[in-house]
Amino acid sequence: MTEPTSPAARPRPTPVAPGERIVSLDVLRGVAILGILIMNIQAFSMIDAAYLNPTAYGDLTGVNRLVWVLSHLVADTKFLSVFSMLFGAGIVLSASRLREKGVRPGPVHYRRTLWLLLVGLAHGYFLWYGDILAMYAIVALVVYLFWSIRPLPLAIIGLAVLCVSPLLYWVSGVGLSYAPPEALEGMMAFWRPGADAVAGQLAAYRGTWGAQMTQRVPSMSTALTMSFAAFLAWRSAAMMLLGMALYKWGVLSAERSRKFYLAMAVIGLAVGFPTVWLGVVRRFADGWTLQYSFLRGALYNYWGSALVALGYVGLVMLAVRGRELGRLGRTLAAAGRMAFTNYLLQTAICTTLFYGHGFGLFGRIERWGQILIVFGVWAFQLWFSRFWLERYRFGPVEWLWRTLTYMRPQPMRR
């Protein structure tokens, strides 16, 4: 009879070492975390309705209209979809490596997810209501259960889950025709807020941190309940499952042929962009009404963004395989390795610029100015990521997350 293994002799879980990282995943994550800011800047700098309905606030003519259309076409939900796929791939990568080391991946995953949830809730309720970390953590609690199954069933399940939100959107859009007037008034108050509501948001976010909480808390609560149930949870879960499948097929680790990635990029972009563009044309023709543009009109971007995201994956994998990126690729990989830090850093920078505890520019910067700020934040984060990782093993937030997950301090200095 064998003696039981002592606790000291059991393998201890450890994070992925720098030499074990998959470069293509880091580069793609860097592209995604930077690209997300193109849309998030609108939520940082303008009233919440302007994110979904660009006619609700701010000038939408000339260059401002061009910036909004290009941002919607290129970025809206696209980079977030890529980031979600990478999150799913990360679950598989972490769990499989832990299992190879003889460590049960479940406890590590749930500790990791719990800390992510707590950080996300703090981020969303105390800093910025557009947080995605808490949502990812909640979804990851369920998605993890699928990590070990074969890629084809994963992809099929992911596509099935992806169909849930469009069904809800379509049914809800049809139901608006029969909704009582008081219900429509409540939805219209969000979709196209009146002068008093706009003035209230401007005053709150240009005010003290306490004043901001009067707007931020209800907005975050809505995101974690109504928005989460109708859209965010289903979309995120679907893209995570698809990311798991793509990782297992070797797609996200640049293991497929150039011909495969070229076809992936061409099909994804050639079908995805026209689909999104058609949605833009139809919503402007509709006049951005609540009855059409809020729900049914959003379906063009819903489907088109998934295809464009796959096209972006194909393009990045082509560049990684061909080594065309050079120094830029290494810099993007550094930004990707520090994605958690960079995501929170974007909040710190943008809330300082736009909120009352900083420069108070909320509602004062037009869309063309917002995109210039995005370019400035990109330049800083690309430089900072390389600078930091030349000296340290992890980004500061990544180090803290790993330390809490593995319940012991991680080595920081190189």
Compute CA distances 182 → 187, 200, 207, 228, 289, whole Å: 9, 22, 31, 23, 17
Q: What is the pLDDT of residue 88?
A: 97
User: pTM of the predicted model, to two decimals?
Assistant: 0.92
- Quick check: 275 and 306 in contact, CB under 8 A? no
Q: What is the pLDDT of residue 291?
A: 83
Q: What is the mean pLDDT of the chain?
A: 92
Q: Is residue 392 helix, strand or coil?
A: strand
User: Is residue 9 over pLDDT 50?
Assistant: no
Rounded percentage of the chain residues whose pLDDT exceeds 90: 79
Please tell me the distance from the alpha carbon of residue 348 to that of residue 365, in angstroms, as a whole number.
18
Q: Is residue 353 helix, strand or coil?
A: helix
- For 221-233, what is the mean pLDDT? 89
- For 346-351, what is the mean pLDDT? 98
Rounded percentage of the chain residues whose pLDDT exceeds 70: 95
User: 């963004």: which residue's tokens?
Assistant: 305
User: Is residue 2 over pLDDT 80?
Assistant: no
Instruction: Determine the Cα angle at 374 with ends 286 and 119, to 5°.
Output: 95
413 forms beta bridges with: 392
For the record, the structure tokens of 61 come out as: 């003519």
For the record, the structure tokens of 147 come out as: 């990590």
SS3 content of the chain, % helix, strand, coil (to 5): 75, 0, 20
- Quick check: 60 and 50 in contact, CB under 8 A? no
- For 69-97, what is the mean pLDDT? 96
Element (H, E) at 136: helix 133-143
Q: What is the pLDDT of residue 73?
A: 97
User: Is residue 340 over pLDDT 90?
Assistant: yes
- For 49-59, what is the mean pLDDT? 94
For the record, the structure tokens of 270 come out as: 């050639």
User: Is residue 161 over pLDDT 90?
Assistant: yes
84 pLDDT band, cuts 50/70/90, is: very high
Compute CA distances 183 → 176, 178, 179, whole Å: 9, 10, 6
Q: Where is pLDDT greater, at 288 or 324?
A: 288
- What one-character-per-residue DSSP string does 29-44 give? HHHHHHHHHHHHHHHH
Q: What is the pLDDT of residue 230?
A: 83
Longest pairwise C-alpha distance within the chain? 80
DSSP state of 364: T
412 pLDDT band, cuts 50/70/90, is: confident
- Quick check: 243 and 237 in contact, CB under 8 A? no
Which stretch of 11-25, 188-202, 265-279 has the lowest confidence by average pLDDT?
Answer: 11-25
User: Is residue 8 over pLDDT 90?
Assistant: no
- Quick check: 401 and 393 in contact, CB under 8 A? no
6 pLDDT band, cuts 50/70/90, is: very low
Please tell me the distance from the alpha carbon of residue 315 to that of residue 307, in angstroms, as a whole number.
13
- Quick check: 74 and 38 in contact, CB under 8 A? yes
158 pLDDT band, cuts 50/70/90, is: very high
198 forms beta bridges with: none
Q: What is the pLDDT of residue 170?
A: 81
201 pLDDT band, cuts 50/70/90, is: very high
Residue 392 backbone dihedrals phi, psi, to 5 degrees: -130, 160
Burial (0-12, 13-18, 19+ Cβ within 10 Å), 84: buried
148 pLDDT band, cuts 50/70/90, is: very high
Half-sphere exposure of 274 (CA within 13 A, CB side): 5
Q: What is the pLDDT of residue 10?
A: 54
Please tell me the distance from the alpha carbon of residue 224 to that of residue 22, in angstroms, as a whole number.
32
Exposure class string for 288-299: b at 16+ Cβ within 10 A, else e:
bbbbbbbbbbbb
- For 153-176, what is the mean pLDDT? 89
- What one-character-per-residue DSSP string does 88-103 give? HHHHHHHHHHHHHTT-
Residue 180 backbone dihedrals phi, psi, to 5 degrees: -65, 155
Q: What is the pLDDT of residue 37?
A: 98
Q: What is the pLDDT of residue 186?
A: 79
Compute CA distances 339 → 23, 62, 71, 86, 197, whole Å: 14, 34, 21, 11, 35
